[in-house]
């Protein structure tokens, strides 16, 4: 089934909380004929307000709570601790007094919102980051699962001659294998209890990953190391069944990465901002899109469609074949018209916003993750426009009674 959705993290709602604004956004998605709401990781944010440096791979963010002082009984806490025993005690010990009560509140609010969305035909596409934060609850509670002497990063590429130094702890895959990938099984269980499907970040790292010597000032002197490959996913599937995952297969992608994605039957990603250069075999070119894929105009790590267009030379604009009268919307329509099964549009692109609305600039140490939607900006007019385009592309959800 062809479908479409909108990328908008809850922190980008006008209130940044799971309050009435979140419910109004769900109503807007239904009115606009959308089937998916894509969010980023839902955990407490870490350094630089990033949801990808969370101190927990399991906990929900108390900052999202609409009612952070709602009463929580001792009985509710005990039930939550029993239900989430794989991680709840670790988090409580790390985060201190009130941590479990906040998780009970998060569970209430998030699952109520999710049920409201489901009743209106909206599914949630979440996010499973590959790495955890150094010194976070998972790193502290399970040091045996992590390697020493090297940290995570990305190799030099045309955008950076020194690569990207992320600094996250890397996994000791032998130790993870020895315990039957139990921590990963519980992590996948938790994520898929909160969302209907999940984008698995940095998928290529499960085939091979860039390891940088601890203490290095750049990622330039790292080296590739082999990941766990299919073995990890087989272990998770044996316990949890089929995994509704989208492989974030962007970056330095090798045939081995594509083979693993395809053996697992996962959708990959294509990004239209990458689709107008790079030669005839570029997988992001619209004519090369796979049906079993998710197409984006851009992601949370890219400029908005309008910002991207404004950065292009006249020659590059001409090469896109777009009229350029309303470039953000033209790119949205191109995504909706793709043969890819699912199309996801950032809310900023539906609204035609410029670079001031960009969510994140990789490698930029500050000023990220701050954009918020202006209250009332997603009103009836963009909903009608998006529904018409989504219907024309054969992706629209039917009306919900």
Active site residues: 201, 248, 301
| Cα–Cα distance measured from residue 289 to residue 105, given in angstroms and rounded to the nearest whole number | 42
- Determine the longest span between alpha carbons in the chain, in angstroms: 65
| Cα–Cα distance measured from residue 143 to residue 64, given in angstroms and rounded to the nearest whole number | 29
Q: How far is CA 101 from the centre of its chain?
A: 26
| Cα–Cα distance measured from residue 14 to residue 378, given in angstroms and rounded to the nearest whole number | 11
At residue 170, what are phi and psi to the nearest 5 degrees? -95, 160
> Cβ atoms within 10 A of the Cβ of 265, count?
10
For 178, the token pair is 């020895």
| Cα–Cα distance measured from residue 253 to residue 251, given in angstroms and rounded to the nearest whole number | 6
Whether the CB-CB separation of 124 and 195 falls below 8 Å is answered with yes
User: For the chain, first and last CA: distance in Å?
Assistant: 21
| Cα–Cα distance measured from residue 194 to residue 52, given in angstroms and rounded to the nearest whole number | 17
Burial of residue 397 (CB within 10 Å: 0-12, 13-18, 19+) is buried
At residue 153, what are phi and psi to the nearest 5 degrees? -175, -170
The secondary structure of 6-55 as a DSSP string is EE--GGGSTTSSSSHHHHHHHHHHHHTT--EEE----SPP-GGG-GGG-S
The secondary structure of 151-198 as a DSSP string is EEEE--BTTBTT-EEEEEEEE-HHHHHHTTTHHHHHHHHHHHHH-SEE
């Amino acid at each position: 089934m062809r479908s479409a959705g909108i990328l908008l993290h809850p922190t980008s709602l006008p209130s940044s909380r799971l309050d009435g604004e979140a419910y109004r956004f769900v109503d807007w998605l239904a009115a606009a004929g959308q089937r998916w709401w894509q969010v980023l990781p839902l955990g407490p944010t870490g350094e630089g307000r990033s949801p990808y440096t969370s101190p927990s791979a399991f906990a929900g963010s108390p900052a999202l709570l609409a009612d952070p002082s709602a009463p929580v009984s001792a009985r509710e806490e005990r039930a939550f601790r029993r239900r989430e025993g794989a991680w709840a005690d670790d988090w409580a010990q790390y985060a201190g007094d009130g941590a479990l009560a906040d998780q009970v509140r998060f569970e209430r609010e998030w699952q109520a919102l999710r049920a409201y969305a489901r009743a209106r035909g909206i599914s949630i596409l979440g996010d499973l980051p590959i790495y955890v934060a150094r010194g976070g609850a998972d790193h502290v509670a399970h040091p045996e699962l992590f390697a020493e002497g090297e940290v995570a990063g990305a190799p030099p590429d045309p955008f950076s001659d020194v690569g990207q130094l992320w600094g996250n702890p890397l996994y000791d895959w032998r130790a993870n294998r020895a315990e039957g990938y139990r921590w990963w099984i519980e992590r996948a269980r938790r994520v898929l209890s909160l969302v209907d499907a999940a984008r698995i970040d940095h998928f290529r790292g499960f085939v091979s990953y860039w390891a940088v010597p601890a203490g290095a000032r750049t990622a330039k002197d790292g080296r590739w190391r082999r990941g766990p490959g299919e073995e990890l996913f087989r272990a998770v599937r044996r316990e949890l069944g089929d995994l509704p995952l989208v492989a974030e297969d962007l970056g330095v992608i090798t045939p081995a990465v594509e083979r693993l994605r395809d053996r697992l039957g996962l959708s990959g990603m294509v990004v239209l901002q990458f689709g107008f250069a790079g030669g005839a075999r570029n997988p992001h070119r619209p004519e090369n899109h796979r049906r079993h894929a998710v197409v984006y105009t851009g992601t949370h790590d890219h400029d908005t469609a309008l910002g991207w267009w404004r950065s292009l030379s006249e020659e590059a604009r001409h090469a896109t074949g777009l009229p350029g009268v309303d470039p953000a919307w033209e790119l949205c329509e191109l995504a909706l018209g793709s043969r890819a099964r699912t199309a996801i549009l950032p809310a900023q692109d539906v609204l035609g916003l410029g670079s001031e609305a960009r969510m994140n600039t990789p490698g930029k140490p500050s000023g990220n993750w701050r954009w918020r939607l202006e209250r009332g900006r997603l009103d009836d007019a963009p909903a009608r426009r998006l529904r018409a385009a989504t219907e024309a592309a054969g992706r629209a959800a039917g009306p919900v009674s």
